[in-house]
Amino acid sequence: MLDGLGALGVSLASFFAPKALAYSFGATLLGILVGCMPGLSATLAISLLTTLTIKLPPNDAILILICAYVGTIYGGSRSAILLNIPGTAANAAACLDGHQLARQGQAGRAMGIATAGSVAGSLFGIACLAVLTPVLGEVALTFGSYEFFWLALFGVTMSGSITGTDPLKGWIMGVLGLFVAQIGQDGIHAHERFAYGNPDLAGGLSLIPTLVGAFGCAEVLTVLSERFARPEVRAVDSILPRVGDVLRYWKTILRSGVIGVYVGILPGVGEDMAAWSSYAAAKRASRERERFGKGSVEGLIAAETGDNASIPGGIIPALALAIPGSAPAAVLLAAMIIHGVRPGPMLMIENPQFVYDVVAMNVYATVGILFFGLFLVRPLLLVLRIPRTVIMPVIFTLCVVGSFAIASRLFDVWTMLAVGVAVFVLRRFGYHAAPFVLGLVLGDLLDKSLRRGLVLSDGDLTPFFARPICAVLAAVVAAALLLGIPSVKAAARRWWAGLLGRSP
C-alpha cells in the first residue's frame, strides 16, 4: 500500500510541470468543446488526437488522450441539458432530467449538479483504477494462451450488447472486425493472409487510419447527409452547485460510482450503458421516483456519476489484461501500443510506474473538468452556436491529414476513406461501429492466443476447456451468446423472477 502511494505521489509530481499542466488542461478543454457539439464522440476525439500526438513522448501523448477522453464525456452534458441533445451517447440519460431542469429555469443548477456528479464519479473510478489494476494484473499473470483466447472471445461476444436490442448485428460487426484484423502478415510465421499479391495489403490495415475512418469519416458523412439547424441555446443561471444537492444524494453517488466502474470493466459495454444502469438503479431505490424524467436532481446526478466512473473502469482491463472496456478505451489501448507501452499482465512487471501515471493523468483531467465546468461555462456555450456543417469539413481534413501523417502512406488515407464509407452505409442498416472496433482491437490477441495454444497442445483442443479458468470463461461466453437470443433471455428472466418469488 505504501509503495503504491509513493508511486502515485511520484506520478502526480511528474505531471506538476508547466508543459504537462498545459497539455492536461488544454486537452481537457478541447475534449469539453468536442463533447459540447452533438454527434461528436470521445472515440472520434481520441482517434484524431492520436494521429496529431504521434511524435510526442509517450507520457505526454497519453496524457493528452486521457484528458480529452474525460473532457469529452463530461462536455456532452452541456448540450444534453440545454438542447435536449446528448453531446455523446454517454449523456443521453442526462437529457431526461437535465433538460427538464433547464426548462424550469434551472439550467445553471443542472450543469452544476452534472459537474459535481461527474467529478465525484471520476474520483471514485480513479480510486478503483489505482487499487484494482495491480490486483487484476497479478491475477492475470497466471493466464496462458488458453485463457487469453477465451478472454478475447468474451470481449467480442460482448459486442452484441453494444447495439442495444439487436445482439446479432453487434456480433456480425464484431466478427467483421476480427476478419479485418487478420489482413496482412500473421503474427507468428509472417505468412500473408488476404493480401492477394498487393504489397500494401500485405502490410495490413493500420489500426489508427481504420479507427479514424470508422468514427471520423463515417461521422462526417452521416452529418453532411442530414440537415441541421443552428440550435437555440437557453439562458444560464448561476452555475455553482448547491452543497445540499451533493450531500443529500451521497448514497446515490456511491451506488452510481460502483455501477459505473463495474460496467466500465465489462468489455464492450461502455459509458452510455453505465449512465443508464446508474439512472435505473437510482430510480428503483429512490423515494422520489415519480420525479424522474420531470427534473429530478437525483436522476441527473446518478447518470453523470455513472458515465464518468466508467471511464477509469474501462481503463482497468485495458491496462491489466489488454482488453478494452469500451470503444474509446480501445482506441486508447491502440495509442498506448503505438507509443511502445505494452498493456497486459506483464505491465506490472515491466513498467509498474505507468499504471500510477495513468491514475495521475485521470486526476489532472478531473481537476480540469471541475475548473472549466464551474468557471468557464458561458464562454464554452458559444461552441453550441456553431453549425455542425461548419465543423465537419474541418474534422474531415484532420482525418485525412492524420491518417497520412502516421506513416506517410497514401494507402492509409484510402483505408480511412474505404472504412468510413463502409461504416456509413452499415449505419443506415442499424450496424454500429463500436463492435467493429472491439473485434479489430481484440483480433490480434485472439488469433495469436488460439494458435499458440494449439502449438503448445500439439493441436489438442482439450486444454481450452479442461483448465479451470478456461472452463469458467467458456461458460461465461456460452451464457453471453445464449442470453443474446430473445427467447432465451425472456425465459431466464422468468426463471430468475420465479426464484426470487416475484412477477417478471
Q: CA torsion 379→385→391→392, rounded to 10°?
A: 140
Q: How far apart are CA 72 and CA 255, in angstroms?
A: 23
Q: How far apart are CA 75 and CA 90, in angstroms?
A: 10
Strand partners, 192: 185
Q: How far apart are CA 105 and CA 108, in angstroms?
A: 8
- Compute the radius of gyration of the chain from its Cα atoms: 22
Q: Which helix (H) or strand (E) holds 192?
A: strand 192-193
Strand partners, 262: none
Q: What DSSP state is assigned to residue 216?
A: I
Dmax of the chain from CA atoms?
70
- Nearest-CA neighbor of 434 among 52, 172, 92? 172
Helices in 18-106 by DSSP H: which ranges? 18-36, 42-52, 58-83, 92-103
| Residue 184 backbone zone (phi > 0: left; psi -120 to 50: alpha; other: beta) | left
End-to-end, the C-alpha distance of the chain in Å comes to 45
pTM for the full predicted model: 0.75
Residue-level pLDDT at 94: 84
Helices (H) and strands (E) in the chain, counts: 25, 2
Length of the chain: 504
Distances (CA, A) of 198 to 192, 310, 411: 10, 42, 11
Instruction: Name the residue type at position 31.
Output: G
Q: Which helix (H) or strand (E) holds 185?
A: strand 184-185
* Domain locations in the chain as residue ranges: 2-466
Distances (CA, A) of 65 to 206, 272, 280, 449: 19, 19, 30, 29
396: Cα within 13 Å, side-chain hemisphere: 17
Helices in 377-462 by DSSP H: which ranges? 377-380, 388-407, 410-428, 433-456
Q: How far apart are CA 113 and CA 275, in angstroms?
A: 15
Contacts of 394 (CB under 8 A, 6+ apart): none
Q: How far apart are CA 240 and CA 95, in angstroms?
A: 20
- Nearest-CA neighbor of 130 among 26, 1, 298? 1
Residue-level pLDDT at 392: 76
**Residue written as cell 506483464?**
346
pLDDT, tens digit only, all 504 positions of the chain: 446 677 788 888 888 889 999 999 999 999 998 888 766 778 888 888 888 888 888 889 999 999 999 999 998 888 788 777 777 777 878 888 888 888 787 778 888 888 888 999 999 999 998 888 888 877 777 777 888 888 778 777 776 665 555 778 888 888 898 888 888 888 777 788 888 888 888 888 887 788 778 877 887 787 777 655 555 555 565 666 665 666 788 888 898 999 889 888 876 667 877 888 888 888 878 777 778 877 888 888 988 999 899 999 888 888 888 777 777 888 888 888 888 888 877 787 788 888 889 999 999 999 999 988 887 777 766 766 677 677 778 778 878 887 887 677 888 889 989 998 998 999 888 887 777 877 887 788 788 888 888 888 888 888 898 888 889 888 988 887 887 777 777 777 777 666 665 555
Give the rounded distance of the alpha carbon of 480 from its chain centre.
20
Cell of 451: 494458435
**Residue written as cell 494521429?**
51
Residue-level pLDDT at 2: 47
